[in-house]
């Protein structure tokens, strides 16, 4: 039996490793377009600071996968087409074109940074303008930082943009973030958005909201000029972080059905619409536990988990993968920004009559030194109190406290049930009434439940 | 209508305040034996360091309760008997004996530090030997620290003993902890116990396990001598932290039924066995969600919550209080030690056939600076995988991550369901597979579930 896996990062290598554990005799071929396999892409922003090395993000080398797990990892192999009738993949390698038959195929091609069609940008990639998605992107950006740029424009204030902003700042650059939307972190309530803006200001970061980039060019002085709807910004370096797109080109050509966000539609066994073809990771969709609908929320845990399940099912198991609730967290200087489930707007768009409670509490007992204000917001269905989502912003505690809400969402709990929870307390870690309980109580009040 | 509340700390003042909100016209009398109401007792250990003030633990003064909430707070009123037939309480105040009739009575007398019968100790209380439970205890210990003791013996290595140890150390003292049991934190697995011992050693704290104190006396030199089963220890100060006992003397005399741990037995509306008498806080028992049985686990959140519910029910509501899972956390120098639900031993004693998984993970991504090793242990029923408890030890993340397990226990989830959770990940906060998921997976492996 030959298993072919297209893509050698989180999902692909998890699948390959799991398949190997379960099927010691199977031939397992991993086709990776780049030169890198299995790396911690989420760590890229943190490697922008001086002294940090992008190569530290490598987890297991292709060579180790070959020798220790007997996986036939082929680097520089770009798949260009899949013939599902003939069960063949075809593509281009350094050594020329290749064709390979498969018994079971996994598409784990991930997602790519969006490179928007902005005037002048096309010719500047790698020469002043960068994205930050792959290890190679990281190497190029690190190389550019060796020229000691004084100022950077970060286009896009999503979590990659903001994580990069923090680290560029720590690398000594002035940073201006240009965000097309009228707000950063639009998935949290206004008070929490303001807290994030305040953090940016206190860290000396300039944030331009409601501003679109219309042009990027190299000016007469040799510096870059970023033309925006709010005027031109002169800078040394442009980092474009306006999101990612699933890599589905050949999947689409092969007639594989696409789902949410244009990602490959998979069922709960990670099967695509075409027999013997699976998909996992950032290129595939997932079922949202709260809405029951297909969504595309490409995050690391799901990619790892889906890879593992795909590896099981390609070797004869019938394991189902659980749905997701979209739990995400990131650090922005001295703030933790976390969310899970649906935002108020998402819940409304999904048709719910919602009630929202946003409270501020503190990350330590009032008499315990340090800490700060913790914002907690919960979204629930008005009629039943069923929790739909939550978010937290604070200098500590948000990143891990949000998991309690995620568990509650998976368990289908309501505000009253969350309020009943016996949660941890000690003075260094919060007030005796956990902020989550205070928020649940506020939710019940907003629902007029006693 | 006259409501009488015996005890003016967390449960008592929560009850009084809630009753006032619901019954603006009611006469509400709070009888407090000491001079202090409503203070953060959990903060006492942290006020032992120089510059910290025990008085900062006061939350709301008796005067403010009187003027802002119209509560008749009577300090220095020690209740000595309850006549439930005549609906009267009697006691002793500074001004002489008092008697007061009630329509509804709440017993919120809390717990007291155990003062063990050790040879010589009786005459040394306040003169070299101390406990740390009340604000007054804190004042006395702080006063003793003004004499610049160089060394302290802490008798008892429970969480109060260990929190006090940390802060006495930070106040510049050498500390020896004498623990009668063969281990600190007996509710966590061996590897985690060792981690706690290692922390003590690295902080220069001497821990003597399996050692009983047999005598305390003042030696010829004027220093104290603590005689133990492992030899005598010369010291300047002895802090006895061997646990607490519910204050139930007059409740017992009044014929009120006692429950787990000798605390007052209450139903889920906080009613005692005697009509119109309620109990809440550290003097009352609670139902454990996992076992369904009565337990006595006196902790702050429960006291606050029970006070609130008692205040509701004394004013005509029929609110039920949820059970507890015994979630607790404390800080010991650079470690967070957290638990929820049943320990392996407790689960076995309760009759379960248990499976335990203990894993080590890390508190940050492997390439992210700082952090350290996080231990996670989960206990489940072998046959069904139903979660029974969990514990965590690490330099960060344990205090808040344990709440996820608490929520899972309340929701009655199993190992497989916990493993399905979509939990938060970013490099500064943990690995992509949350330590909790890794532990769930280990639990499933131990159960031989795929």
For residues B219-246, one letter each, b for 16 or more C-beta atoms within 10 angstroms of the residue's C-beta and e for the rest, the string is: eeeeebbbbbeeeebebbbbbbbbebbb
Q: Which residue of chain A is at minimal alpha-carbon distance from B404?
A: A404
Inter-chain CB proximity B368 and A46 less than 8 Å: yes
Taking a C-beta distance cutoff of 8 angstroms, is the pair A12, A72 a contact? no
Which tokens belong to B33?
């034996």
The mean pLDDT value of chain A amounts to 97
How many residues comprise chain B? 450
- Residues whose CB is less than 8 angstroms from the CB of residue A143 and which lie 6 or more positions away in sequence, other chains included: none
Burial grade of A350 (CB within 10 A; 0-12, 13-18, 19 or more): middle
**CB pairs below 8 Å between A and B: how many?**
210
User: Residue for token digits 């944030």?
Assistant: A207
Among candidate residues A180, A161, A162, the one with its CA nearest the CA of residue A118: A180
What does the pLDDT average to over A331-340?
Answer: 98
Task: Report if pTM > 0.95.
Answer: yes
- ipTM above 0.85 for this complex: yes
* Chain B residues touching residue A444 (CB < 8 angstroms): none
Inter-chain CB proximity A407 and B425 less than 8 Å: no
Cα–Cα distance between B264 and B84 in angstroms, integer?
15
Inter-chain CB proximity A399 and B428 less than 8 Å: yes
Cα–Cα distance between B271 and B277 in angstroms, integer?
6
Active site residues of B: 42
The pLDDT, as a whole number, for residue B448 is: 81
Whether domain B122-240 has CATH 3.50.50.60: the reply is yes
pLDDT above 70 covers a percentage of chain A that reads 100
Q: How far apart, in Å, are the Cα atoms of B21 and each of A187, B26, B71, B75, B103?
A: 35, 10, 11, 22, 18
* Chain A residues touching residue B413 (CB < 8 angstroms): 407, 411
Taking a C-beta distance cutoff of 8 angstroms, is the pair A382, A309 a contact? no
* Band of residue A430 on the pLDDT scale cut at 50, 70, 90: very high
What's the gap in Å between the CA of B79 and the closest CA on chain A? 28
Cα–Cα distance between A369 and A46 in angstroms, integer?
29
Cα–Cα distance between A449 and B440 in angstroms, integer?
35
What's the gap in Å between the CA of A435 and the closest CA on chain B? 11
Q: What secondary structure letter does DSSP report for A271?
A: B
Strands (E), B53-211: 72-74, 78-83, 88-93, 96-101, 104-107, 111-113, 129-130, 151-155, 174-178, 206-208
Looking at chain A, the domain(s) classified CATH 3.50.50.60 span: 2-112+244-313, 122-240, 328-447
Q: Which residue of chain A is at minimal alpha-carbon distance from B408?
A: A407
Inter-chain CB proximity A406 and B399 less than 8 Å: no
Looking at chain B, the domain(s) classified CATH 3.50.50.60 span: 2-34+75-112+244-313, 122-240, 328-447
Q: Which residue of chain B is at minimal alpha-carbon distance from A289?
A: B422
Among A300, A411, A429, select the one facing B432 at the smallest CB separation. A300
Counting as low any pLDDT under 50, the low residues of chain B are: 450
Task: Give me Rg for the CA atoms of chain B.
Answer: 23
The pLDDT, as a whole number, for residue A449 is: 56
Among B317, B328, B401, select the one facing A400 at the smallest CB separation. B401
Which tokens belong to A54?
């992008």
**Other C-beta atoms within 10 Å of A404: how many?**
28
Record: fold of B328-447: FAD/NAD(P)-binding domain (3.50.50)
Alpha helices in B61-151 (DSSP H): 62-69, 135-145
Q: What is the homologous superfamily of the domain A2-112+244-313 according to CATH? A: FAD/NAD(P)-binding domain (3.50.50.60)
Q: Please say if the pLDDT value at position A450 is more than 90.
A: no
DSSP code string of B317-361: --PPPP-B---EEEEETTEEEEEEE--HHHHHHTT--EEEEEEEE
Q: What secondary structure letter does DSSP report for A444?
A: H
| Distance between first and last Cα of chain B | 61
Inter-chain CB proximity B417 and A401 less than 8 Å: no
Taking a C-beta distance cutoff of 8 angstroms, is the pair A246, A264 a contact? yes
Cα–Cα distance between A421 and A423 in angstroms, integer?
6
Q: Please say if the pLDDT value at position A255 is more than 60.
A: yes
* Chain A residues touching residue B324 (CB < 8 angstroms): 422
What's the gap in Å between the CA of A426 and the closest CA on chain B? 6
Cα–Cα distance between B177 and B333 in angstroms, integer?
14
Record: fold of B2-34+75-112+244-313: FAD/NAD(P)-binding domain (3.50.50)
Cα–Cα distance between A315 and A354 in angstroms, integer?
44
Among candidate residues A7, A3, A16, the one with its CA nearest the CA of residue A105: A3
Pairing assessment for the beta strands A373-381 and A354-362 based on DSSP bridges: antiparallel
Q: Please say if the pLDDT value at position A371 is more than 90.
A: yes
């Amino acid at each position: 039996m030959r298993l072919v896996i297209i893509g050698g990062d989180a999902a692909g290598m998890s699948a390959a490793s799991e398949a190997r554990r379960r099927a010691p005799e199977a031939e397992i071929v991993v086709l990776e377009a780049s030169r890198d396999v299995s790396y911690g892409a989420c760590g890229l922003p943190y490697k922008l600071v001086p002294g940090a090395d992008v190569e530290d993000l490598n987890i297991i080398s292709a060579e180790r996968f070959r020798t220790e797990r007997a996986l036939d990892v082929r680097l520089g192999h770009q798949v260009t087409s899949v013939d599902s009738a003939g069960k063949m993949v075809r593509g281009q390698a350094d050594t020329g074109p290749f064709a390979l038959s498969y018994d079971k195929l996994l598409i784990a091609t991930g997602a790519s940074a969006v490179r928007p069609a902005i005037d002048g940008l096309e010719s500047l990639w790698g020469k002043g303008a960068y994205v930050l998605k792959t290890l190679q992107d990281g190497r190029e950006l690190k190389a550019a930082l060796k020229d000691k740029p004084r100022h950077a424009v970060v286009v896009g204030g999503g979590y990659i943009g903001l994580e990069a902003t923090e680290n560029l700042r720590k690398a000594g650059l002035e940073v201006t973030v240009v965000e097309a939307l009228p707000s950063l972190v639009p998935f949290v309530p206004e008070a929490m958005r303001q807290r994030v803006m305040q953090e940016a200001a206190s860290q000396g970061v300039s944030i331009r909201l409601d501003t679109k980039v219309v042009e990027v060019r190299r000016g007469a002085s040799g510096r870059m000029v970023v033309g925006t709807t709010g005027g031109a910004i002169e800078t040394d370096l442009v980092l474009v972080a306006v999101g990612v797109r699933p890599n589905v080109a050949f999947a689409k050509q092969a007639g594989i059905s696409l789902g949410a966000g244009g990602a490959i539609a998979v069922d709960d066994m990670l099967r695509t619409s075409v027999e013997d073809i699976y998909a996992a990771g950032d290129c595939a969709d997932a079922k949202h536990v709260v809405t029951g609908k297909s969504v595309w929320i490409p995050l690391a845990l799901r990619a790892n988990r889906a890879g593992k399940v795909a590896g099981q099912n390609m070797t004869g198991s019938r394991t189902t993968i659980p749905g997701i609730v979209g739990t995400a967290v990131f650090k922005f200087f001295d703030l933790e920004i976390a969310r899970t489930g649906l935002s108020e707007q998402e819940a409304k768009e999904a048709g719910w009559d919602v009630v929202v409670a946003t409270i501020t509490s503190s990350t330590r007992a009032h008499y315990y030194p340090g800490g700060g204000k913790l914002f907690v917001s919960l979204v629930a269905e008005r009629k039943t109190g069923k929790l739909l989502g939550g978010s937290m912003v604070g200098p500590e505690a948000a990143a891990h406290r949000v998991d309690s809400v995620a568990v509650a969402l998976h368990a289908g709990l309501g505000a009253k049930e969350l309020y009943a929870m016996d949660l941890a307390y000690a003075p260094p870690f919060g007030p005796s009434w956990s902020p989550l309980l205070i928020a649940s109580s506020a939710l019940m009040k907003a629902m007029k439940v006693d």
